[in-house]
Amino acid sequence: MQAQKMNIEMMKQFNIISVLRVIRERGPISRSEIAECIDLSRPSVSEIVSDLIVGGWIRELTASPGGRGRRPIPLEINPNGRYVLGAEIGAYQLSVILCNLNSEVIGQSTVPLTEGVTPELALTEVCSMCESLIASCRVERSLLVGIGVAMHGVVHPGTGYSVYAPNLGWHDVPVKDFLEAKMGLPTYVDSDTNTSALAELWTGVATGSRQFITMVVDYGIGAGIIFDGKLYRGIAHIEGQIGHTTVDEDGPRCACGNFGCLEVMASEPAIVRRVLKRLRAGERSVLSSQFDHWDENSISIQTIYQAARSGDELCKDVLRSAGRYLGIGMSTLINLFNPLFVVLSGGMAEVADLILPDIEDVIVHRALGDAGKSTKVLVSKFGKLIYPLGGATLVLEHVFQSPEAVAIPKSIQD
């Protein structure tokens, strides 16, 4: 009897989430259309819809005029019915955003990370940034459903531990436990490459696609793989580490210990190093006159991007070379996974127009068969917002498939 009651209860909760997901994916949508989509009776749908409206999760729109009889009332997600926090713990910055249920950014703040910052200091700063946003956006705390963290390095999404964050020097940091204890909100943590793929899937250029790969190129390089509509996960959470595959065995040593990894040939720090090397060797560039002493701190990747945009041949050439290495990495991903398309994401997406022809040229020569060679490379529209937005999307991904996250009105539970 107890088991039967539990089964009925689970079925009710499953139906609530199904209705909510259909409204998110296909809204505006009427009650009868929902009933058709998920094969549920019209009265059951109406009951669930009423409670979701009372709970603030969805809202009714005005029925379209015209025709005979009662027009069906369209339903959609109530964008400001709930809010989520998304945080980036990157290699060199912390960034936090507050979003609504439609992933619209209500507020944002970013601070640089100082070298050697301790986990406690950085995580305390994340909490303080979250609290400031909640206050400045005047969002009622009871409407917040969680915090999602896009973490650089290797992450255990089950425990919410940062297993290894190479640029911060962190090992086994309990990010989820820390934030939940301080903020009192459910917290989800995943790698910034996985969360970037989720952001593209939910609201980006890959919305609704079931099979694609996001290559994130920034301080590091990694890939988020969407397989059959879900994130592909490896057994030890090192999936998508395309940045540490060898593209030049005679290349420089990478932080991982290997030589000539993609990351050490085509990431933003690698581009800075290559420009500096050529300037020191006496090559001419618009940058030559701007700096007296060359070192890696005196030139930023943005300076190189601007110089390339203004037509500087040296910077353009270094970017094109990085594009060719990225093309090799993408060809490997295409040959392994045969995705519908690859999304170029992260800081490098800002200069996509300068590197895309070289990436595409390499793919045409290296990917297998007509299908591989014709795989499109799309460009993310988010820039560096992809990281905190990915964190926020991680929360939404949990909320829209977890009955516990949706505050279910008592009338439905009984």
Rounded distance, CA 222 to CA 220, Å?
7
CB of 258 to Zn ion, least distance (A): 5
* Nearer to Zn ion among residue 176 and residue 244 (C-beta): 244
* Nearer to Zn ion among residue 221 and residue 354 (C-beta): 221
**Which residue shows structure tokens 């964190």?**
391
* Nearer to Zn ion among residue 236 and residue 281 (C-beta): 236
CB of 256 to Zn ion, least distance (A): 3
CB of 342 to Zn ion, least distance (A): 20
Stretch that binds Zn ion, among 142-150, 250-258, 287-295, 384-392 (CB under 5 A): 250-258
Q: Which string of DSSP letters, residue by residue, matches 326-360?
A: HHHHHHHHHHHH--SEEEEESGGGGGHHHHHHHHH
Pairing of strands 170-174, 105-112: unpaired
- State which amino acid sits at residue 161: Y
Total residues binding Zn ion (CB under 5 A): 5
* Prior bond of 166 cis (ω within 30°): no
Count CA within 13 A, CB hemisphere, residue 316: 12
What tokens were used for 239? 């999936």
Residue 242 in contact with Zn ion, rule: CB under 5 A:
no
Work out the burial of residue 229: count CB atoms within 10 Å of its CB; fewer than 13 is exposed, 13-18 middle, 19 or more buried: exposed
User: Residues 364, 365, 370, 371: is their CA dihedral positive or negative?
Assistant: negative
Count CA within 13 A, CB hemisphere, residue 322: 33
User: 259 forms bridges with which residues in the sheet?
Assistant: 253
* Nearer to Zn ion among residue 80 and residue 332 (C-beta): 332
Rounded distance, CA 224 to CA 219, Å?
16
* Chosen residue from 20, 58, 261, 348 binding Zn ion by CB under 5 A: 261
Residue 238 in contact with Zn ion, rule: CB under 5 A:
no
* Nearer to Zn ion among residue 253 and residue 376 (C-beta): 253
What tokens were used for 270? 């690698």
Rounded distance, CA 138 to CA 372, Å?
49
* Nearer to Zn ion among residue 10 and residue 256 (C-beta): 256
Rounded distance, CA 52 to CA 174, Å?
34
Stretch that binds Zn ion, among 73-81, 183-191, 246-254, 369-377 (CB under 5 A): 246-254
* Nearer to Zn ion among residue 220 and residue 391 (C-beta): 220
Stretch that binds Zn ion, among 126-134, 187-195, 241-249, 358-366 (CB under 5 A): 241-249
* Chosen residue from 24, 152, 244, 316 binding Zn ion by CB under 5 A: 244
Stretch that binds Zn ion, among 115-123, 247-255, 270-278, 392-400 (CB under 5 A): 247-255
CB of 189 to Zn ion, least distance (A): 23
Residue 199 in contact with Zn ion, rule: CB under 5 A:
no
CB of 391 to Zn ion, least distance (A): 25
One character per residue 48-77, x = contact with Zn ion (rule: CB under 5 A):
------------------------------
Rounded distance, CA 405 to CA 400, Å?
8
* Chosen residue from 49, 133, 213, 254 binding Zn ion by CB under 5 A: 254
What part of residues 319-348 is at the interface with Zn ion (CB under 5 A)? none
> Which residues would be at the binding site for Zn ion (CB under 5 A)?
244, 254, 256, 258, 261
